[in-house]
Amino acid sequence: MSFLPKNTFGQTVLLIAGLLLINQIVTYYSVVTYFIRPNYQQINTLVATQIDQIFLQNIQNPESELHNAYMAKTGTRFHTTESAMHAGLRDATYYHFMSKAISERLGGDTDVRITGGENYLIWIRPPQDPSIWISIPMQGIEDSDLSPLTIYLIVISILSVAGGWLFVRRLNRPLQALQKAARQVGKGQFPEPLPLEGSTEMVSVTNAFNKMSQGIHQLESDRALMTAGISHDLRTPLTRIRLASEMLPDDQDWVKDGIEHDIEDMNAIIDQFIDYARQDQQEATENVDLNKLIQELVNGRIMEPDHYIELNLEQLPNAKLRVVGIKRVLENLIENAFRYGSENISISTQVDHQTKSLICSIKDYGKGIPEHEIPFLFAPFTQGDKARGTVGSGLGLAISKRIVESHGGRMLFSNHSSGGLKAGFSLPYSSL
């Protein structure tokens, strides 16, 4: 399992963070090597030299003439172990690297400790006389004097991350708008042209997408207009044929009934052509319960005497649906289940909280459909099993698929173990 981010924003931030980390390490190493270490080496040398001078001139001896003058001038103090503890030695921190460096210069084991704060003191127990402690004040060296490096690293880190975030956000904003617009076009909706912003490459991609969207919109409009025109032109001669059939003599009623039946079938096919071209995008969505729509369809359906529908409906959250469109999908699936499946069918619903989707399944107990033919059921003008009948134009499932996908869902078709086909769909719902 890869923990690396897959989106551009995460990858860019990770790249900037990696480069920043390398920069911080190099900066820290450089500052320590060329600034902090030389300063500490100089301090160690000065302290060791000062200790040597103290013992060379016997200044540590209280009876020495230079003792009091030296302490007054430099602030250096000489303590026993007990008095040093009272003077702040107990709060001092032991520094191994300073102890080692000064020990090498003084030629013996030296204990070096430091008291920070306002009174910055270096405590030294020299090898010349381990019974005393010498406290040397260091003017201008305080804890806060070492903080600029830390502040510098923090400020650089914040500025780098903030700058990278702003850069990636500016880069990703057109991509997110492009992704949203592409999904709308995929659902048959055509948004306004996207603003041309961002890098030159992003502007070129956005401009190409706008032209593509306009081209697809124009093709859809031309197709709808052509379908409407053909339908209008076909209905005119059909109307004349119907009028002509009304003038047939009474002894030819069987001819008239056949003609009217054929005209009704042709009108129904023409209506399907128009619906397929229109895509039902004009209907507004409503926050409804899918179970309620199913019960309304079942209760309002005129059932043949030998037909029966079993309902297994789980409690579902509401979803934003185009009511007429979803009812049309349900009606089509129910009709197909009775026509091509069995006299008894079952309708079940369930909710998948993990994928936040509602699932509706309509199960018949017929012969089912060969698995390799299922993907071709949704192609326009295609019927899944021609041996079971050739009623209709083959647009019903194509229209249903388009309606379901316009909701962000997908069709679910499979053969079940009890024999027959389980036809259904999944629709997303929002938990907000």
Same domain assignment for residues 260 and 316: no
Q: Pick the residue with more confidence: 36 or 376?
A: 376
Is 213 buried (19+), middle (13-18) or exposed (0-12) by CB count in 10 A? Answer: buried
By the 8 A CB rule, do 134 and 76 touch? yes
294 and 420 belong to one structural domain: yes
Whether 114 and 140 map to the same domain: the answer is: yes
Query: What residues does 148 pair with on adjacent strands?
Result: none
Task: Tell me, yes or no, whether 354 and 405 share the same domain.
Answer: yes
CB atoms within 10 A of CB 422: 19
Q: Which carries the bigger pLDDT value, residue 204 or residue 233?
A: 204
Report residue 320 as tokens. 């934003």
Same domain, 258 and 296: no
387 in the same domain as 300: yes
For the stretch 143-154, pLDDT in tens is: 444 456 667 677
The total domain count for the chain is 3
Confirm whether pTM is higher than 0.85.
no
Residue 200 lies in a domain: no
Q: Judge if 234 and 298 occupy the same domain.
A: no
Which amino acid is present at 417? Answer: S
Q: Which domain, by its residues, includes 361?
A: 286-428
405: domain CATH number?
3.30.565.10
Q: What is the pLDDT of residues 349-392, one digit of tens each?
A: 999 988 899 999 999 998 888 888 888 888 765 554 543 444 45
Residue 290: pLDDT band (50, 70, 90) is very high
How far is the C-alpha of 388 from the C-alpha of 189, rounded, in Å? 36
Together in a domain, 262 and 385: no
Among residues 131, 148, 165, the one where a domain terminates is 148
**Is residue 321 assigned to a domain?**
yes
The answer to whether residue 327 is domain-embedded is yes
CATH number for the domain that contains residue 271: 1.10.287.130
Last residue of a domain, one of 94, 123, 148: 148
Paired tokens of 86: 């009272």
